[in-house]
Amino acid sequence: MHSEIGSDSQPGTLAQRATAMLNRFYGYSTFRPLQLDIITTAMEGRDSVVLMPTGGGKSICYQMPALLSDGVVIVVSPLIALMKDQVVALTSNGIPAAAVNSMQTDEENRDILAQLFSGRIRVLYISPERLLMEIDRWSRDMNIALVAIDEAHCISQWGHDFRPGYTQLRRIKEIYPHVPVMALTATADRLTREDIARQLALVDPRLFIGSFDRPNISLKVMTNPGKTQRLNYIGAIIDRYRNDSGIVYCISRKGAEDMDRQLRMRGYRSTVYHAGLSVTERNRAQDRFINGDVQVVCATVAFGMGIDKSNIRWVVHNNMPRNIESYYQEIGRAGRDGAAAEAVMFYSYGDIMTLRSFVDESGQQALNSEKLARMKDYAEASLCRRRILLSYFNETMDHDCGNCDVCLNPPERIDGTVPVLKALSAIVRVNGGAGITMLIDILRGMSRQEITQRGYDRIKTFGAGRDMSFGEWNSYISQMIQLGLIDIAYDDYNHLRITPYGRQILNERREVLLAKYEPLESRRSTRRQHKEDEKPALSPAEMLLESLKAVREKIARKEQVPPYIVFTDKALLEMVRIEPLDMESFAGVEGVGERKTVKYWRPFVTAIRKFKGITDKFGPGLSVDETLLLLNAGYDVDAIAEAKGIKSSTVYSHLVELINADKLTDFSTIITREQYLRVMEVVKAHPDTYYEILSTEMPVGLPRVAVAISDFLMRRKADHR
Q: For residue 401, state whether it binds Zn ion (rule: CB under 5 A).
A: yes
Question: Judged by CB, which is closer to ligand ADP: 124, or 436?
Answer: 124
Q: Which does 568 bind (CB under 5 to 8 A by kind): Zn ion, ligand ADP, none?
A: ligand ADP
Q: Which does 407 bind (CB under 5 to 8 A by kind): Zn ion, ligand ADP, none?
A: Zn ion
CA distance 675 to 700: 13
Whole-number minimum distance, CB 237 to Zn ion, in Å? 19
Helix (H) / strand (E) element for 497: namely strand 495-498
Question: Judged by CB, which is closer to ligand ADP: 331, or 352?
Answer: 331
Q: For residue 217, state whether it binds Zn ion (rule: CB under 5 A).
A: no
Residues 327-366 that bind ligand ADP (CB under 6 A): 336-338
Contact indicator for 607, 555 with CB cutoff of 8 Å: no
- At 82 the three-state DSSP class reads helix
CA distance 440 to 435: 9
Q: For 172, what's the count of Cα atoms within 13 Å in the CB-facing half-sphere?
A: 31
Q: For residue 384, state whether it binds Zn ion (rule: CB under 5 A).
A: yes
- Site map (CB under 6 A) of ligand ADP, residues 526-565, x = contact: ----------------------------------------
Q: Which amino acid is at 277?
A: L
Of the candidate residues 28, 208, 212, 289, the single one contacting ligand ADP (CB under 6 A):
28
The interaxial angle of helices 470-482 and 417-429, nearest 10 deg, is: 80
Of the candidate residues 56, 78, 255, 593, the single one contacting ligand ADP (CB under 6 A):
56
Q: For residue 389, state whether it binds Zn ion (rule: CB under 5 A).
A: no
Please enumerate in sequence order all residues whose Cβ is within 8 A of that of 714, keeping only pairs 6 or more positions apart, or say none.
Answer: none
- Site map (CB under 6 A) of ligand ADP, residues 288-327, x = contact: ----------------------x-----------------
Q: Which does 54 bind (CB under 5 to 8 A by kind): Zn ion, ligand ADP, none?
A: ligand ADP
- Site map (CB under 6 A) of ligand ADP, residues 566-605, x = contact: --x-------------------------------------
Q: For residue 62, state whether it binds ligand ADP (rule: CB under 6 A).
A: no
- Site map (CB under 6 A) of ligand ADP, residues 661-680, x = contact: --------------------
Contact indicator for 646, 637 with CB cutoff of 8 Å: no
Q: For residue 149, state whether it binds ligand ADP (rule: CB under 6 A).
A: no
Q: For residue 250, state whether it binds Zn ion (rule: CB under 5 A).
A: no
Size of the site for ligand ADP (CB under 6 A): 17
Of the candidate residues 2, 17, 32, 602, the single one contacting ligand ADP (CB under 6 A):
32
**DSSP assignment string, 560-605:** TS-HHHH--HHHHHHHHHH---SHHHHHTSTT--HHHHHHHHHHHH
CA distance 521 to 458: 32
SS3 annotation, 186-227: CCCCHHHHHHHHHHCCCCCCEEEECCCCCCCEEEEEEECCCH
Q: For residue 57, state whether it binds ligand ADP (rule: CB under 6 A).
A: yes
Contact indicator for 165, 78 with CB cutoff of 8 Å: yes
Range list of β-strands (E), 11-59: 48-51
CA distance 403 to 381: 15
Q: What angle do CA 396, 401, 407 make, to 5 degrees?
A: 125
Q: Which does 52 bind (CB under 5 to 8 A by kind): Zn ion, ligand ADP, none?
A: ligand ADP
Q: Which residue in 394, 383, 346 sits closest to 249, CA to CA? A: 346
Q: How many C-beta atoms surround the C-beta of residue 255 within 10 A?
A: 18
Q: Give start and end residues of each alpha helix (H) in 433-499.
A: 436-443, 449-453, 470-482
Binding range to ligand ADP, per CB under 6 A, among 47-55, 297-305, 408-416, 609-617: 47-55
Question: Judged by CB, which is closer to ligand ADP: 502, or 562?
Answer: 562
Q: Rounded to 10 degrees, what is the CA torsion of 467, 471, 473, 478?
A: -170
Q: For residue 54, state whether it binds ligand ADP (rule: CB under 6 A).
A: yes
Q: Which does 310 bind (CB under 5 to 8 A by kind): Zn ion, ligand ADP, none?
A: ligand ADP
Instruction: State the residues that interact with Zn ion by CB under 5 A.
Output: 384, 386, 400-401, 404, 407
Instruction: State the residues that interact with ligand ADP by CB under 6 A.
Output: 28, 31-32, 35, 52, 54-60, 310, 336-338, 568
